[in-house]
Amino acid sequence: MTSTAIHTPALAAFAQQKGEHWIDALNDGSPVLIRPLRAEDRDREKAFIENLSPTTRHHRFLGEVKEVGEALLSQLMDVDGRERVAYVALVHDNGLLREIGISRYATIGADTDTCEFAVTVADEWQHQGLDALLMRHLVARAKDQGFKQMYSLDCPANHRMRELAATLGFNRAIDPDDATQVRYHLAL
């Protein structure tokens, strides 16, 4: 676990609890708590998605999502720590912890060596290095779980994803199954 100075009571209180977590610093030095997504984060996750700009939401879901229904929220909250993992980034905001980013992976179908990933950062927290922090923790977890490769499908207009993939060493190619999408791939 990385440790930097904890500047807020809510982060300090959480850090005293047991469990996997990191307190990392963003590019501007602001502390951020990164930990596995928990059932108690359900309302935070819903608020996080609802507060994303239409463009960021479109990039995350590869389509228009106007409302976060119970079925979608239940799917996003379904994590098991092995085949479906999510790391949430939280900051202290007026006495409460607020979700500002999330990274996740899941196995798709019968291929247990490969996982599909996604990472999303709240619009006002972009360009602070949070996407890379979240992905580094996610990649490390995927390696620890024995995955051989990670991939993500995205729209070509998502320039932030292109920059992140280049920073983290992901390969980029046109998706062979859908020429309107880009596939990012990393051998673990």
Domains and CATH numbers, the chain: 9-147 (3.40.630.30)
pLDDT digits (tens, 9 = 90+) for 29-45: 999 999 999 999 999 99
> Mean pLDDT, the chain, as a whole number?
86
pLDDT digits (tens, 9 = 90+) for 126-185: 999 999 999 999 999 999 999 999 999 888 888 888 999 999 999 999 988 888 889 999
For 88, half-sphere exposure in the C-beta direction (CA atoms, 13 angstrom radius) is 21
This prediction has a pTM of 0.86
Residue 16's contacts (CB-CB under 8 Å, 6 or more residues apart) are none
Residue 169: other Cβ atoms inside 10 A: 9
Asked whether residue 1 carries a pLDDT value surpassing 50, the answer given is no
Asked whether residue 62 carries a pLDDT value surpassing 80, the answer given is no
